Amino acid sequence: MGLRVLSVIPPMTQLNTPYPSTAYLTGFLRSRGIDAVQEDLALALVLELLSTQGLHAVCDIIEALPTSRHTPSIRSFIEQRQRYLGTIEPVIHFLQGRDTTLAHRISARNYLPEGPRFDSLDVYVDDEGGDPLAWAFGALGLQDKAKHIATLYLNDLADVLRDAVDSRFEFVRYAESLAASQASFDALAQALEASPNLVDDTLRNLTVQALQTHRPTVVLLSVPFPGSVYAAFRIAQTIKASHPDIKTVLGGGFVNTELRQLSEPRVFDYFDFVTLDAGERPLLALLEHVQGKRTASRLVRTFVCDPQSHQVRYINLVEPDIPFEEVGTPTWDGLPLDRYLSLLDMLNPMHRLWSDGRWNKLTVAHGCYWKKCSFCDVSLDYIGRYEQASASVLADRIQAIVNETGQTGFHFVDEAAPPKALKALATELLDRNLDISWWGNIRFEKTFTPDLCELLADSGCIAVSGGLEVASDRLLKLMKKGVSVDQVARVTKAFSDAGILVHAYLMYGFPTQTVQDTVDALEYVRQLFENGCIQSGFFHRFTCSVHSPVGLHPEEYGVTLKPLPPVSFAQNDVGFIDPTGVDHAALGQALRKAIYNFMHGIGLEEDVRSWFPFKVPRTTVARHRIARALMG
């Protein structure tokens, strides 16, 4: 039998569009004449569980549970189970865009059963008892309103699966705690040895079906996040039990950041090879090895386990990486593009882009052209090795993808898309009359002038996201972010004025950040919303990575790292002692509540201290600081 490579997206990633790693790898391998196919088992798993047959199986499990384990989600499901069984498949078809007229019945709020997740709508009820969603969707936003209601319905079912079947279940982060920064493999090994539950059995059956369909000789499991590790190991477990001759390979973003110190031999009960960083060159070497054309000693950036000594070895014959211009065009051939679910979790026009619509994923440049931020993994390949492709090559790839998929929406998934490259690409798109809609991640740097923002909008740019991080000039300087608060205000306003939505990534808990810094940062953010600079944002807690400048040189940031345990499996986050002693967890709750309301246009006139349930100092930021910066 000849060489055939199957690339698999393991649960869970996202449900509205395929995670792009398999599309990249399949496109590359085919460009080298290798027989390559792909499967999205994350989507397949969810569609199997959220079916009439899947919900019947959930009902059987619940009937066997003692009533003491019945949570509000389970009780609501039991009370309305006939309605759930009757509506689940029509709702899935609606969210797949296959039955849009169902929106009328869904929007009326008397068709779908409603569980605890619908309590979130109570905050929108007005004194007259009208439609609580009228402010968001008006009289004619029927499809979007139905999509939001249907999303709440699915979230109720996800809660039932979590409470009744598998406490680790989530749509985008499945069993995350088993893998994230787990120095030991023990927790994951114990979970994999446990009796399979409904989710495990379903995934096993889907894996067997995929093997029967494709008959691969090599299976690549690309694991981008900790929340897809457990399922990837379950898939590999099934492969080894049913087809031990198939070679299994583990790679992806999680591996590249967290498994660099791998020495755990038990991993190789499931995987024959574990590869690091950009996958193209290691894969070519590995496939030559599988075919007997290359010895194991000539593998590239690959962990193996010696069968006699049971010692893990890292083999890295230094060979040049495949240039970014030569990695080929991603292909979605073989993925069921008509079966992805367009969801609408949050009532914010920018936030919806992450869950609504099927976006073709593409990278403008490999790595980051800035690569200085002190919180970032600048020492690793995915950030540190920067390579561009020409605007002509990128436009050719875009045209090929549109021709293949018939869809013109693109998400550029760069760490930070370079402004010069975006300008060249925008010009190329306009010259070719290539009409697409696109969005991506950038740095809020001064190169993005109003004229450039207008050009990007003309070329199809609908949204950008970027890191403001801590809205404090002192901390931005310490972070080596290369921007100031005033500069961010002017750049984001230029994008907004061009009709481009703007999302700001925000951070709290950075070394030496005081309560005053946090309050001032929230005031800056309030003013950015108030002045129409940004439409969306998200506060996340700073975590120190062992690969970041803070993790590598903590003394430069005024902190002391906590000792790490001996590592044989995953290593990424490291605790640290900050002499300020600030309770960032308590502050974080207030920050998230505030920005959630700001995104819905609520509370923009209030003193930011009102979001904190305890006393905090008055902000030192002038009330109209951002407005003045915009006039400068």
Query: What does the alpha-carbon distance between residue 398 and residue 500 come to, in Å, rounded to a whole number?
Result: 21
Return the exposure string of 152-179: e unless at least 16 CB atoms fall within 10 Å of the residue's CB, then b.
Answer: bbbbbbbbbbbbbbeebbbbbbbbbebb
Among residues 423, 524, 420, 401, the alpha carbon closest in space to that of 469 is found at: 524
Query: pTM of the full predicted structure?
Result: 0.93
Rg (CA), the chain: 25
Predicted confidence band at 406 (pLDDT cuts at 50, 70, 90)?
very high
Q: What is the pLDDT of residues 274-292, one digit of tens each?
A: 999 989 999 999 999 999 9
Tokens of 381: 């390949």
Q: What is the rounded CA–CA span in Å between residue 330 and residue 45?
A: 24
Q: How far apart are CA 41 and CA 23, in angstroms?
A: 14
The pLDDT-based confidence of 469 (bands split at 50, 70, 90) is confident
pLDDT tens track for 518-563 = 999 999 999 999 999 999 999 999 999 999 999 999 999 989 999 9
Question: How much is the pLDDT for 127?
Answer: 53
Beta bridge partners of 198: none
Q: What is the mean pLDDT of residues 602-615?
A: 95
Q: Which of 499, 427, 489 is CA-nearest to residue 464?
A: 499
Q: Is the pLDDT of residue 438 over 60?
A: yes
What's residue 414's pLDDT? 92
272 three-state secondary structure: coil
pLDDT of residue 380: 84
Res 141: pLDDT:
87
How many Å apart are CA 487 and CA 477, to the nearest integer? 13
pLDDT band (50, 70, 90) for residue 6: very high
- Structural domains in the chain plus CATH codes: 5-41+176-325 (3.40.50.2300), 48-164 (no CATH), 359-547+581-631 (3.20.20.70)
Q: Tell me, what's the pLDDT at 526?
A: 97
pLDDT tens for 145-170 read 999 999 999 999 999 999 999 999 99
Is the pLDDT at 439 greater than 90? The verdict is yes
